[in-house]
Amino acid sequence: MNRSFEVVIGLEIHAQLATVSKIFSGASTAYGAAANTQACLVDLGYPGVLPVLNEEVVRMATMFGLAVNATIAERSVFARKNYFYPDLPKGYQISQYELPIVEHGELIIRDDTGNDKRIGITRAHLEEDAGKSIHEGLDKFSGIDLNRAGTPLLEIVSEPELSSAKEAVAYMRKIHTIVRYLGISDGNMQEGSFRCDANVSVRPHGQQELGTRTELKNLNSFRFVEKAINFEIERQIELIEDGGEVVQETRLYDSDRDETRPMRSKEEANDYRYFPDPDLLPVEIDAAYIEAVRETLPELPDAKQERFVDEYKIRVDDAAILTASRSLADYFEQVAAATRDRPQGVANFVIGELAGALNRDGLGIEQSPVSAAALAGLLDRVKDNTISGKIAKEVFEAMWAGEGSADEVIDARGLRQITDTAAIESVVDQVIAANPGQVAEYKAGKQKLIGFFVGQVMKATGGKANPGQVNKILKDKLG
Amino acid sequence: MSLDKDQVQHIAMLARLKLADGEFAQTVEKLSRIVDFVDQLGQAKTDGVVPMAHPLHATQRLRPDQVVEVDDRDHIQQNAPLTENGLYLVPKVIE
Amino acid sequence: MSQDLHTQTLTQLSAGLDRGDFSSVELTEALLGRIETHGQSLNAFVTVTAEQALAAAKRADEARAAGNAGVLSGLPLAHKDIFCTRDILTTCGSRMLEDFISPYDATVVRRLADAGAVVLGKTNMDEFAMGSSNETSYFGPVRNPWDLQCSPGGSSGGSAAAVAARLTPAATGTDTGGSIRQPAALTGTVGLKPTYGRVSRYGMIAFASSLDQAGVITRSSADAALLLGVMAGFDERDSTSIEHPVPDYCASLSGSLKGLRVGIVRQHFDEGLDDKCAAVVKESLQVLESQGAILSEVDLPNLDLSVPTYYVVAPAECSSNLSRFDGVRFGHRAADPEDLLDLYCRSRGEGFGEEVKRRIMTGTYVLSAGYYDAYYLKAQQVRHLIADDFHKAFAEVDVIAGPTSPTPAFRLGDKIDDPITMYLNDIYTIGANLAGLPGISTPCGFVDDLPVGLHLVGPHWGEETILRCAHNYEQASAWHEACPEEYR
């Protein structure tokens, strides 16, 4: 990154709220239905129909506000944002403008230097989503599917306080984690349930006023957010260094070409003529309601991470990984509660073997073939020396493949560890007898060869000898 | 005239209205008269007066989050000027 | 017997049906016959639903025979063509909706049908209810039964003319700035606009959402009370409809006016009101006084500002409400559009008439960047002042009485070229819409052989009081029984 420029980024995240019906109508929000079969008269903006607000969206917005330490407005107002576009059936979008439901929140992220950084959340407001335009296969037409029209969105607007693409991603990930913790959004980025626009500008170091910003649209993955912002930063810096000027405009990120380009359809200067929607009345929320919602708030990622470090004495980085998703954290806690193994041992296994297997098979923690109880059973067998840590990995793979519980796999495969001293001694004796040269070298002072002997013993026992005992017996016998 | 041709043109574009050639001149004139007429609001003393958006002091009622609508697409689309496979068609939109 | 069925009010017809003097089918046939005879010259109907009406009448007769009659079983009425009626043409007086078949029923339509009412057809109206003369209808102006050269007023002109000419005993209407009361006054009928939120707006094609309210045009206040009882009440599909108990409006008619405090607005009799109208209205006030009402003067200091306030607020809301008519999902679509912009601009340019376009543009202007504060926000503030004036007045009086309209019916073509003169027609009625108050117009005499209306406004939820007041007046004066000669 060019050092003589400072980067200023603000994000507008749209999180689709996980309701079963739409924000202003009783039509289903289920994804993937045949075109326009989930667009009722209200969603279609039919003459004479009226919007009625879904109570769940108010609860969800309130939850989010409380989670980011924001103010919940006692009175919020829906406004109309007027513009014409085929995916916007009424010719206006119902949104919130002057009086949003959530204001003045904050979030702590880790910045590029690894320090905590507070990012302000200007506001979060409720609004309805638009439909979809389909351009393929319709010759000189575009087709409009309004199934998505009226789906509830929470638009979360950050202060322009993010200083790099990486910070922007860290912020976005954190919001993603929070909305999923709260259960207010599924956060599914492929289906567009969680997407973001980025306002990006650069200015020479020391300059007070902000540079001209561009708005990047169509950022529907964390990777694209990072790439698009980085592309845009470079583009703006080059432009300025070449003596040009940044034009305030909306740009679309093209992931195929990894570049941003101006959006043609938004060229005309918009005058949205916001005004309070006369079909909807002010939403009033009292303190009792807010307190009732607060009672239902789950433990949030930051608090959970802190508790994991305190309570389980695991490493901070591991706690961060485990608490990135509520279900992963729950899984960890279930294993930790059920096993006699140390929590750090559980953390290591969950982050290492389990996460690796989930990742390899493209599964979420909820779909893990090895339950928390089953994993606890496996870790117990390591703890009580029934098997070694190394054999545990083999047993885990077998459990993953559906071969049964840890004990069943151990028995079926005969993997029980040899802890009988006499049996180990007899193998050690054979190894010493078979390798006189190495024994001489060891005795001459080449202590490192102990590893060779251990390896030979383990090989001879099929990995089942207890490594601690093998070590001790070897050292005794080799003198 | 309180509005000029360019302003009226701009308003017509915002409102997506094409005015017939003969319509335009009289629209400028009549709109100007309407604007002059409503300009008398400027005389009203309204310092500190809260804007009134609704005639009653009521608050928004909330509906339960339930799916109550059933698919009625084919019936509804009988009013649609142009559809294909359930999609409403418009001239190609370029983004 | 069936010769004079058209002369009867709903209340009388209901009693006749109960006695078995005639059937609903006979009644419906008689009225369909009158519509056939007079409909065209008055141009009061856009659609006559003869087949459905007769089927509904037959069902009503059967229900009555089975002892399942509803409050309105077999009683005919017409709907203003602004109300969506399932599988029936719903035009809103516009080319835009020339072929629009509503896939659903408005709540008002549903409730009246559920009570057994028989719908004769859909009445003509000013396009999207924007007008005070019925001349902005795409389907041509409605004519006033008292003088075919005159306007019946608007926007519910078709409903008013149809009731005045005895083509139907009652019709629904909508009132955004006087669109029920003014045509009622100009046609010698009774027009009731309830409190904002009293009747559901669901399925009523919106003009200005914070002002629109559904009501009725009838031959008597008793009939208005009967219909309101069925139409009123909370609707979960309308966020602005209010959960407020619905009283027995018919029972409320019977009380006397003894001690009723009636306020006369000082500003109502200033310049602008036709002298002869003023005399007629003043006479009607004396009738109220003779019935025991106590008259006193009240002040509405911001009355003058109500028309300009209205002509900012209503167009602003309409400019947004009418954006949905874009030629994509329903309504008029221009032929062979070059591109999307052309589709929008021509569909809307062709589909809307001049007055509608003018209001959309006025509204777009007052909401646009740089003008919002000076116009829209200012108008909302003045609206507050006007509402406060009413609330202060209602601390002193129970009812405010005065003229409904500054003049009797005017000739078609007289005002259509001058929007401001046309707008000033609503000066006495607009305040009730801005403040959300109930109002009623009842016939109170004639000027040059044209009817004049007495306008009564009550506080929020004061329908019982204004209905009782109007009903008492009607019992003493009988002006509401007058009928143009050709339609007796």
Spatial separation of the C-alpha atoms in residues C432 and C452, rounded to whole Å: 19
For residue C101, the chain A residue with the least C-alpha distance is A47
Report the pLDDT value the prediction gives residue C416, as an integer from 0 to 100: 84
CB pairs under 8 A between A and B: 116
DSSP β-ladder status, C213-218 and C294-298: unpaired
**CA–CA min distance C360, chain A (Å):** 13
Identify whether C392 is a catalytic site residue. Answer: no
CATH code for the domain in which residue B14 is found: 1.10.20
Name the more confident of B38 and A259. B38
Label residue A267 by pLDDT band (50, 70, 90). very low
Whether B75 is covered by a domain: the verdict is no
CA distance A111 to A164: 9
Residues of A contacting chain C (CB within 8 angstroms): 41, 44-53, 80, 82, 84, 86, 89-92, 144, 271, 273, 275, 278-281
> Residue A276: pLDDT above 60?
yes
Checking phi first, is residue C333 left (phi over 0); if not, alpha (psi -120 to 50) or beta? beta
Q: Cα(A8)–Cα(C17) distance, rounded to whole angstroms?
A: 78
Of A379, A404, A405, the C-alpha closest to A393 is: A379
Per CATH, the number for C5-260+481-485 is 3.90.1300.10
pLDDT at A356: 92
Facing B95 at nearest CB: one of A146, A252, A271: A252
C234: buried, middle or exposed (CB in 10 Å: 19+, 13-18, 0-12)? middle
Minimum distance, in Å, between the CA of residue C121 and any CA atom of chain B = 20
For C457, the token pair is: 């406004």
A275 and C209 within 8 Å at the Cβ level: the answer is no
Of A278, B27, B54, give the one whose Cα is nearest residue C207. Answer: A278
How far apart are the CA of B57 and the nearest CA of chain A, in angstroms? 9
> Which class is A421-478 in CATH?
mainly alpha
Q: A63 pLDDT band (50/70/90 cuts)? A: very high
pLDDT band at A265 (very low <50, low <70, confident <90, very high): low
Q: What is the DSSP letter of C172?
A: E
C touches which chains (3+ CB pairs under 8 A)?
A, B
CB of C190 closer than 8 Å to CB of C470: yes
The two tokens of residue A373 are 């109880």
**Closest C-alpha among C187, C121, C168 to residue C5:** C168
Distance CA C303, CA C289 (A): 25
Q: What angle is formed at CA A343 by the lines to CA A338 and CA A345, rounded to 5 degrees?
A: 105
CA nearest to B52 within chain A = A276
**H or E element: which one contains A445?**
none
Q: Examine the pLDDT at C478 and tell me if it is beyond 80.
A: yes
The answer to whether residues C320 and A92 touch, using CB atoms and an 8 Å cutoff, is: yes
Containing H/E element for C26? Answer: helix C24-42
| CB within 8 Å: A26 and B66 | yes
**Residue C83: closest C-alpha in chain A:** A48
Per residue in C415-453, pLDDT (tens digit) is: 888 888 888 889 999 999 999 999 999 999 999 999 999
> Which of the 8 DSSP states describes residue C436?
T
Tell me the average pLDDT across A466-478: 85
Q: Using alpha carbons, select from C322, C429, C369, C378 the residue that is nearest to residue B38.
A: C378
Interface residue A473 vs chain B (CB under 8 A): no
pLDDT digit string (tens) for C318-353? 999 999 999 999 999 999 999 999 999 999 999 999
Q: d(Cα C70, Cα C67) in Å, to the nearest integer? A: 9
Per-residue pLDDT for B18 more than 70? yes
pLDDT in tens, C65-101: 999 998 999 999 999 999 999 999 999 999 999 999 9
User: CA dihedral in degrees (B71, B75, B80, B81; nearest 10)?
Assistant: 140
Band of pLDDT at residue A264, cut at 50, 70 and 90: low
Alpha-carbon torsion, ordered C79, C83, C87, C93, to 10 deg: 90
Q: So what's the ipTM on this one?
A: 0.97
Residue range(s) occupied by CATH 1.10.10.410 in chain A: 421-478
pLDDT range class, residue B23, cuts 50, 70, 90: confident
Determine, for residues B17 and C349 on separate chains, whether the beta-carbon distance falls below 8 Å: yes
Sequence letter at residue A124: A
Residue-level pLDDT at C461:
97
pLDDT band at B95 (very low <50, low <70, confident <90, very high): low
* CB < 8 Å to A56, chain B: 65
What are chain A's partners, defined as 3 or more CB pairs within 8 angstroms? B, C
A160-176 mean pLDDT: 95
The verdict on a CB contact (< 8 Å) between B61 and A281 is yes
Q: Chain C window 345-374: which residues touch A at a Cβ cutoff of 8 Å?
A: 364, 367-369, 372
pLDDT at residue A2 above 80? no
pLDDT of residue A268 exceeding 70, the answer is no
Segment C29-59, tens digit of pLDDT: 999 999 999 989 999 999 999 999 999 999 9
> Is residue A423 predicted with pLDDT exceeding 90?
no
pLDDT in tens, A285-321: 999 999 999 999 999 999 999 999 999 999 999 999 9
Q: What is the mean pLDDT of residues A141-151?
A: 97
Q: How far apart (Å, rounded) are the C-alpha atoms in residues C370 and C366? A: 9
Report how far residue C184's alpha carbon sits from residue A426's, in angstroms, rounded to the nearest whole number. Answer: 115
Question: What whole-number distance in Å separates Cα of residue A262 and Cα of residue A253?
Answer: 9
First to last CA, chain A: 61
- Active-site residue flag, C24: no
Residues of A in contact with B14 (CB under 8 A): 271, 273
CA distance A255 to chain C (A): 27
| pLDDT above 70: percentage of residues in chain A | 98
- B84 in any annotated domain: no
pLDDT band at residue C1, thresholds of 50, 70 and 90? very low
**Percent of chain C residues topping a pLDDT of 70:** 99
State residue A203's pLDDT score.
92
C136 touches chain B (CB under 8 A): no
Least confident of A9-13, A132-136, C319-323: A132-136
B51 band by pLDDT with thresholds 50, 70 and 90: very high
CA distance C214 to C196: 9
As a whole number of angstroms, the distance between CA C126 and CA C94 comes to 8
Residue B22 lies in a domain: yes
Contacts of residue A86 in chain B, CB cutoff 8 Å?
88, 90, 93
Chain-chain contact of C208 with A86 (C-beta, under 8 angstroms):
no
In chain C, residues with a C-beta closer than 8 Å to the C-beta of B31 are 358, 361-362, 365
Among residues C23, C24, C73, C80, which one is catalytic?
C80
Per DSSP, the three-state class of C144 is strand
Q: Does B51 reside within a domain? A: no
Percent of chain C with pLDDT over 90: 94
pLDDT band of A391, cuts 50, 70, 90: confident
The nearest CA of chain C is from the CA of B36 a distance in Å of: 10
Binary contact (A271, C368; C-beta < 8 A): yes
Nearest CA in chain B to A92: B15
B24 domain-assigned? yes
Q: How many domains does chain B have?
A: 1
Range of the domain at B11: 5-42
Mean pLDDT along residues A441-455: 87
pLDDT over 60 at C266, yes or no: yes
Q: What is the pLDDT of residue A468?
A: 83
What gap in Å lies between CA C22 and CA A187, rounded to an integer? 66
Tell me whether residues A35 and B86 touch, CB distance under 8 A. Answer: yes
Residue B29 lies in a domain: yes
Report the SS3 class of residue B88. strand
- Contacts (Cβ under 8 Å, ≥6 apart) of C65: none
User: Is residue B37 one of the residues assigned to a domain?
Assistant: yes
Decide if B65 is inside a domain.
no
- Please indicate whether residue C80 is annotated as part of the active site: yes
Note whether C463 contacts A: Cβ–Cβ < 8 A: no
In contact, C410 and C336? CB cutoff 8 Å: no
Rounded distance between C-alpha atoms, residue A280 and residue A305, angstroms: 41
Pick A164 or B95 by higher pLDDT. A164
3-state secondary structure (DSSP) of residue A11:
strand
Quick check: helix, strand or coil at residue A336? helix
Identify the residue whose tokens are 């998505």.
A148
φ, ψ at A200 (rounded to 5°): -120, 135
**Given an 8 Å threshold on Cβ–Cβ distance, is A140 in contact with B62?**
no
CA distances from C378 to A115, B43, C431 (A): 50, 10, 16
> Cβ–Cβ of A273/C320 closer than 8 Å?
yes
DSSP code string of A200-226: EEEEETT--SPPP-EEEEEE-SHHHHH
Q: Do C239 and A46 touch (CB under 8 A)?
A: no
Q: Among C90, C202, C367, select the one facing A273 at the smallest CB separation.
A: C367
- Evaluate if residue A211 carries a pLDDT over 80: yes
pLDDT of residue A421: 81
Of the CA atoms within 13 Å of residue C430, those in its CB half-sphere come to: 26
Q: Is residue A93 within a helix (H) or strand (E), and if so which, with residue range?
A: strand A92-96
pLDDT above 80 (res A257):
yes
Q: What is the pLDDT of residues C129-169, one digit of tens each?
A: 999 999 999 999 999 999 999 999 999 999 999 999 999 99
